[in-house]
Amino acid sequence: MKTRHFLSLFDLTTAELEKVLQRAAQLKALRRGGECYAPFPQKVLGMIFEKASSRTRISFEAGMAQLGGSAIFLAPDHTQLGRGEPIEDTARVLSGMVDIVMIRTFGHEKVERFAACSTVPVINGLTDYNHPCQLLADMQTFIEHRGSIRGKTVAWIGDGGNMCNTYLEAACQFDFQLRVAIPPGYEPNAGLLERAAGRVVLLRDPCAAAKGADLVATDVWTSMGKEEERQQRLQDFAAYQVNAQVMAHARPDALFLHCLPAHRGEEVSADVIDSPQSQVWDEAENRLHVQKALIEFLLLQNSYN
Ligand code: CP
Ligand code: NVA
C-alpha cells in the first residue's frame, strides 16, 4: 500500500475527514477531562519550517508530546537543506529516522517532491498554495459551535491566497457554498475555482459575499513571502476589511474566523475579531486537537502498510 500523506484536503475522502474531525472532538474532551492519551511512545515527528510560525509549531510539538512521542524542529539555516541538499535526499534520510514529517515552505511542489520520496506520512503545514491543517481546525470550530457545515454559506473576504484556496478545497469536501469577495488581480487558484464550480461564486463586493452567510472568514492581506508587495496590497485591499458593516449583512448568528496572526485595522476591525461572534481562539486551540487526530489517523493508516 502507498504511504498516505496530507498535502491537501483532497488527500483524504470526505468520510475520512469527518472521522478525523470526530476524533478531534473526542481528543479535545479527553484533554479537557484531564485524561492522558499517549498511544505513540517513541514516535518522532520531524518538522521542517522554512517560514515563521507560532501556532503550527506549538500545536504540532505539544500535540506530539501529549500523544507520548516527540518532535524535532528543523530550521533551514541549521540543516543541510538550507545549504542546498536536495529535498528528495532529505526525504529519504528523514524517512529512515522519524515516523512522520510536517513541512511548512514556499512552493507547494516542494512538499509534493518530498512526499514522493518519503516512506513516512508527510503533513503540509502551509505552502504558498494551501493550508489544509488550518481548514481542519476551522471546520472543527464551526461544527462545535453550529453543527454540520454541509449546505451552509461561507463568505471569504480578502486575499485569494493559500487560505482562500483551502476554503475552495473545503467547499468541495464538506459540501458548502462559498462566496469569495476578492479584489481584481488577487483571485484564488484557477484550477481550484474550476474544481469547486457549482459551490463557489466569485464577487467583488464584501457585503454581497457576506449576505446571509453562516460563517465569515478572512486572512492577512500580505502573506509570508509577499512582504515586498505590502504597500500595494494595503491600497488594493482597502475596501475588503471585515468590519461591523460587513458582518451586518451576515446572519445574526454568523461566526467569524481568522487563522491568525491578525492585523486589527487591516483585514479585520478590532470590534469584529474581539466580538462574541469571533471564535478565533477556539479555532487556534483546535489546531492542537485536530492535528493530533490527523497524526493518529496517518500513523495508524500507515502501520498497516
Ligand atoms: N495559523 C497559523 O498557521 O499560524 P502560525 O503561522 O503561527 O503557525
Ligand atoms: N496566508 C498567511 C497564513 C498564515 C498562517 C500566510 O501565508 O502568511
In the block, cell 478572512 appears at 218
CB atoms under 10 Å from CB of 254, counted, come to 21
Hey, which residues does 73 pair with through a beta bridge? 47
Residue nearest to atom 3 of ligand 1 (CA): 56
Handedness of CA 12, 137, 125, 247 (dihedral sign): positive
Query: Residue 305 pLDDT > 60, yes or no?
Result: no
pLDDT tens digit string along 161-173?
999 999 999 999 9
Query: Residue 108 pLDDT > 80, yes or no?
Result: yes
Say if 5-131+286-303 and 133-283 have the same CATH topology. Answer: yes
Reduced to 3 states (helix: H, G, I; strand: E, B; else coil), residue 14 is helix
At residue 172, the pLDDT reads 98
The answer to whether residue 104 is catalytic is yes
pLDDT tens digit string along 139-197?
999 999 999 999 999 999 999 999 999 999 999 999 999 999 999 999 999 999 999 99
pLDDT tens digit string along 88-98?
999 999 999 99
Domain parsing of the chain, residue ranges: 5-131+286-303, 133-283
Please give the CATH number for the structural domain made up of 5-131+286-303: 3.40.50.1370
At residue 302, the pLDDT reads 77
At 156, the amino acid letter reads W
H-type alpha helices, the chain? 14-32, 55-66, 87-95, 108-117, 132-146, 162-174, 190-195, 206-210, 230-236, 244-247, 270-273, 280-303
Contacts of 29 (CB under 8 A, 6+ apart): none
Q: What's the 3-state SS for 173-212?
A: HHCCEEEEECCCCCCCCHHHHHHCECCEEEECCHHHHHCC
214 within ligand 2 shell (Cβ under 6 A): no
**Binding-site entries for L-ornithine:** 162, 219, 223-224
Mean local confidence (pLDDT), 115-120: 98
224 within ligand 1 shell (Cβ under 6 A): no
Mean local confidence (pLDDT), 132-138: 99
pLDDT tens digit string along 206-216?
999 999 999 99
Least confident of 32-36, 73-77, 124-128, 205-209: 73-77
Q: How far does Cα 193 stand from its chain's mean position?
A: 18
The answer to whether residue 264 is catalytic is no
Cβ contact 68:41 at 8 Å: yes
The answer to whether residue 83 is catalytic is no
User: Is 0.95 surpassed by the pTM of this model?
Assistant: yes
Of 11, 99, 104, 164, the catalytic one is: 104
Fold of 133-283: Rossmann fold (3.40.50)
Computed over every residue of the chain, the mean pLDDT equals 97
Which grid cell is 218? 478572512
Mean local confidence (pLDDT), 47-55: 97
Residue-wise DSSP of 100-125: EEEEE-S-HHHHHHHHHH-SS-EEE-
Closest ligand 1 atom, CA of 57? 8
Contacts of 237 (CB under 8 A, 6+ apart): 158, 159, 183, 186, 221, 266, 267
At residue 76, the pLDDT reads 86
Residue nearest to atom 6 of ligand 2 (CA): 223
pLDDT tens digit string along 252-290?
999 999 999 999 999 999 999 999 999 999 999 999 999
Query: Residue 32 pLDDT > 90, yes or no?
Result: yes
Distance from C-alpha of 12 to C-alpha of 89, rounded to nearest angstrom: 26
Distance from C-alpha of 278 to C-alpha of 291, rounded to nearest angstrom: 22
Phi, psi of 120 (to 5 degrees): -115, 155
At residue 303, the pLDDT reads 74
At residue 304, the pLDDT reads 56
The answer to whether residue 271 is catalytic is no
